[in-house]
Amino acid sequence: MSWARITVRIPDDLKWEMDKHPEINWSAVIRNHLEKYINYELNAKSIDTRIVELLNNYKNDIEKLWMLHIYLTVLPWKKSDVLETAKLIFNKDMADVLEEIENDLNHYGIDAENYQIRNELKEVIDSFGYLDKIYLEVIDRIKKAPEDIKKGIWLLTRYINESVVWIHPEGLNKTYKILTGEDINITIELVKLGLLYKGIYSSRAYFFEHCEIPEYTYDIAYEISKGSLLYIEKPSRYAIEELLKDEKIQMFFKWMGTDYKSIEVYQEGSIIKKELEEKGLDLSLEEFNNVLKKININNKIVMSSRTDKRVHALWQVAHLDIPKYWDIHKLKHALNKRLNQFDIYIKNLKIVSNDFHARFSAKKRIYYYVFSFNTPNPFQKNYVTFLDKNNLDLDKIKNGIQVFEGVHNFQFFKKNGSSIKSNIRTIYNVKFLKRNNFYILRFCANGFLRSQIRFMVGALIALAYDKITLTNIRGMLELKAKQNIKPAPPNGLYLAKILY
């Protein structure tokens, strides 16, 4: 490659600071940054298009694709951990591959050090099947692993749940030794399999080694726990755990979302208390678990689905492991007494089998969206969306709702920031209902993306006001063109039922 010579003017005070570090090749630093940002400006394609083009170049190269995923997952902490993890997984030095990836990112103008862009890149990897090859490779490695390592895999499945995002190596290694009596650094062995990535947690208060959990490991852990992936023998000392075994209960409860906003999962340090208050989150999943701790239940609750703030739930479901000494009728009373301040009511508790999972065992989810043309009043405004009937064609909503039935890619009908593997959902049926002066849109599906229903209803409202056409909505479902659709207000949305 030939290079053109240009002159860069730098302020005197900055040059003075640079001179303090003669060990740094400032010419190379400036050249790399110029190339990166010039490429960014010259490339007029959207960031999504550039990300897809990059990944399409990697889709047949599992080493580069896997290396990129490690890089994106571990990067916030330390690049040396990226190389160390890669060396354990591939059993060779991957520095040259990492350099190629960084050059490719610069070429496409993708700033992977930017938190938002890095998450967007990871989301595309997760959503469009790029992780499938990695998933299958890890499964193959697990099947070939010796029995002592399989015991460590089993132990890892006991650690992992939806609220755990990283593992402390020392604790995992000590637990493994207690359960098996074998002195093996099981954490390193799990990294070699690709089930964990090495990393370092660093903040003003803490600095310690930890292991990140890749997205696909959650799926593998769930399949192992069900016994559908492969059989892994429990460690011989597992009898100790059997003596303290909990039983699983299914919880049915409801809330009105006016004051109680939503149950959110948030990582330690990722959202500070001030930001929670600004967002109006009155109760988090962590705080819900704190309510349980007050009655000596230290296990964490698992929800069937999340809801946006101000959305109501008539039939939310969760599961929870509780000590066997609890009487579920007394537990229901104790929980309702403490959850009353959050406008949450436990409707029923029942004991279920250990393989029940509130989220993954669900077959169908039903939501209602309620709107009216009545004059808005203060007694209903938090529970119904009021629409202006002027220039609104109600028949377009009634007929247009049918377009959502079937299997579709709802990529254009979700809120940004959703961490999911696939945007494809199956809507089994939709109904347009009327009760007195209220209209109800009923959606039944195998699942919904974040804010998907609100975006679908928003599209129907825009259709009724002639802001878009039915062809536009079909085009969004076919990923041809995204429309400027606002999500419908949350106060009209109700989680009606979860079917198992």
Residue 115: per-residue pLDDT: 77
d(CA 85, CA 95): 11
Please state the rounded mean pLDDT for residues 102-107.
87
Question: CA torsion angle for 455, 457, 461, 463 (degrees, to 10)?
Answer: 80
Query: Residue 413's pLDDT is what?
Result: 93
Closest CA to 370 of 393, 392, 397: 397
Q: Tell me how far apart the alpha carbons of residues 199 and 76 are, in angstroms, rounded to a whole number.
A: 9
**Residue 2 predicted with pLDDT over 70:** no
pLDDT of residue 277: 43
Rounded Cα gap, residues 440 and 408, in angstroms = 22
C-alpha atoms less than 13 angstroms from C-alpha of 14 in its C-beta half-sphere = 5
230-270 per-position pLDDT tens digit = 666 655 554 444 434 567 778 877 766 555 444 544 333 34
Phi, psi of 315 (to 5 degrees): -155, 65
The residue that leads in pLDDT, 318 or 207, is 318
CATH number of the domain at 133-241, out of 3.90.1010.10, 2.40.160.20, 1.10.10.10, 3.40.50.300?
A: 1.10.10.10
**308 is known as an active-site residue:** yes
Which pTM does this prediction carry?
A: 0.49
pLDDT of residue 444: 95
CATH code assigned to 246-352 = 3.30.70.580
Cβ burial 193-216 (10 Å sphere, 16+ → b, else e): bbbbbbbebeeeeeeeebbbbbbb
Let me know if the fold of 246-352 is the same as that of 364-499: yes
Of 127, 345, 333, 93, which is closest to residue 215 (Cα–Cα)?
127
Spatial distance between the Cα atoms of 392 and 374, rounded to a whole number of angstroms: 14
Instruction: Point out the catalytic residue in the list 308, 327, 355, 395.
Output: 308
Which CATH topology does 364-499 take? Answer: Alpha-Beta Plaits (3.30.70)
pLDDT of residue 282: 45
Q: How far apart are the first and last CA of the chain?
A: 61
Beta bridge partners of 251: 318, 349
What pLDDT, on a 0 to 100 scale, did the predictor assign at position 284?
A: 57
Q: What is the DSSP string of 57-82?
A: HHTT-HHHHHHHHHHHHHTTT-HHHH
Confidence check: pLDDT of 468 > 70: yes
Q: Would you state the structure tokens that stand for residue 390, as one six-digit string?
A: 């002027």
Q: What is the pLDDT of residues 302-325, one digit of tens each?
A: 888 777 777 888 888 888 888 776
pLDDT for the residue 261: 42
Provide the percentage of residues in the chain whose pLDDT is more than 90: 25
pLDDT band at 35 (very low <50, low <70, confident <90, very high): confident
Planar angle of CA 345, 350, 352, nearest 5 degrees: 135
Residue 126, pLDDT > 80, answer no
Quick one: average pLDDT of 318-333?
83
pLDDT value of residue 276 = 41
pLDDT (tens digit per residue) in 374-426: 887 888 888 899 999 899 999 999 999 999 999 999 999 988 766 678 899 99
Predicted pLDDT of residue 412: 92
pLDDT of residue 207: 58
Q: Please report the pLDDT score of residue 271 as a whole number.
A: 42
d(CA 257, CA 492): 10
Rounded Cα distance between 413 and 262, Å, is: 20
- What gap in Å lies between CA 395 and CA 7, rounded to an integer? 66
8 A C-beta contact, residue 251 and residue 318: yes
- State both tokens at 392: 């609104």
Taking the domains of the chain in order of start, what are their residue ranges?
A: 12-129, 133-241, 246-352, 364-499
User: What mean pLDDT do residues 175-190 have?
Assistant: 85
Pairing of strands 197-202, 247-255: unpaired
**Structural Rg of the chain based on CA atoms:** 26
Question: Which residue, among 323, 278, 281, has the nearest Cα to 306 in the 3D structure?
Answer: 281
Q: Does residue 275 carry a pLDDT above 90?
A: no
Count the Cβ atoms, other than its own, within 10 Å of residue 299.
16
Percentage of the chain modeled with pLDDT above 70:
83
User: How many C-beta neighbours within 10 Å does residue 52 have?
Assistant: 15
| Burial status of residue 488 (CB atoms within 10 A of its CB: 0-12, 13-18, 19 or more) | buried
